[in-house]
Amino acid sequence: MPPITPKPVIMSPITPKPVIAPPKIIAPAGAAMLPKPATTIKMSDPTFKTIREFIYQLTGIYFQDNKKYLLEGRLGKRLQLLNIPDFERYLQLLKSLNGRGEEMRFFYDAITINETFFFRNEPQFEAFEKTLVPQIAAMKKGQPRAKLRVWSSASSSGEEAYTISMLFLEKIKPLYPWLELEVVGTDISAGVLETARQGVYREYSVRNMPRHYLDKYFTIDDQRFYLKDQVKSQVRFDHMNLFDRSRMRTMSNFDIVFCCNVLIYFDQASKIQVVSDLYDSLNPGGFLFIGYAESLHGISTAFKLINFPKTVAYKKE
């Protein structure tokens, strides 16, 4: 099969979403122009397995058999937009890109689940503010330009990273005025990172946030919630695949790492690799948080488990 070149993508200056030039439809003489039926492109089981393996090798994300519909639906939309008739040819296109290029960006956006919201796991943020940061601050006291470094390692659209930034301004800074904060948010999906950088949210994202934070750190206009610069300025976002070992090695000297609600998408071997790299990214005395439904049981024995009411943290001693 000849390699396929996608149709040109025209970026609109206002919305970051790509607009694909629609193909010209030429009706046969005398034919009435009927609306095109919404067709779904079918993914065969062998192709599903090949695409699953491709995704796994690239990202560590493993699609169980019962998640075929998800890939079929999400990637199918992309195929229709690009006018590619089947998944086999789409896979061929992806393979030809060697993990680079514009299409990879859409591919990652399509295969990831980006659910998140502000103050998602409150007991975790309480442990962060009341116990972990005071411990770390005690270690850093007296250092010139002391800085607390936090990594939101599957940040999605930024709600977790910005929750940390607001908590710092609200609760930490008044107690430790000499301490600065740097939060790095990373994700494999470039689409959600654009939203994160803009810092503009809808009701859904702020639904769990205490009213006081909403009033103090956002301006509200037309049902949109705009984060103030004060909160944004402590956070930066970068594109990063947690499964990319050479990139992971560049992430170091963090005091606290959040890796929440992403390990569930990995299989055991990917979890072991990613958690081992996260361990290396931490300073001695630093802490790792994972999602409420996640555990390091059978994944790592390197950390010391620290129990808090309704949550746990993992300490690098």
Residues within the interface to ligand SAM (CB under 6 A)? 59-61, 112-116, 120, 154, 156, 160, 187-189, 192, 241-243, 260-262, 265, 291
Residue closer to ligand SAM (CB basis): 84 or 196: 196
Residue closer to ligand SAM (CB basis): 159 or 179: 159
Residue closer to ligand SAM (CB basis): 61 or 179: 61
291 touches 257 (CB < 8 A)? no
The token pair at 221 is 């206009």
Residue closer to ligand SAM (CB basis): 84 or 277: 277
Least separation in angstroms between CB 260 and ligand SAM:
3
Q: What is the per-residue burial (b if ≥16 Cβ within 10 Å, else e) of 246-285?
A: eebeebeebbbbbbbbbbebbeeebbebbbebbbebbbee
74 touches 191 (CB < 8 A)? no
Least separation in angstroms between CB 1 and ligand SAM:
29
What is the rounded CA–CA span in Å between residue 102 and residue 310? 42
- Lateral strand order in the sheet of 180-187: 235-239, 180-187, 147-152, 254-259, 282-290, 311-315, 304-308
Residue closer to ligand SAM (CB basis): 217 or 243: 243
Least separation in angstroms between CB 116 and ligand SAM:
3
Least separation in angstroms between CB 294 and ligand SAM:
10
Least separation in angstroms between CB 145 and ligand SAM:
28
Residue closer to ligand SAM (CB basis): 47 or 153: 153
Least separation in angstroms between CB 57 and ligand SAM:
11
Match 């956070």 to its residue by tokens: 235
Backbone angles phi, psi at 117, to 5 degrees: -160, 165
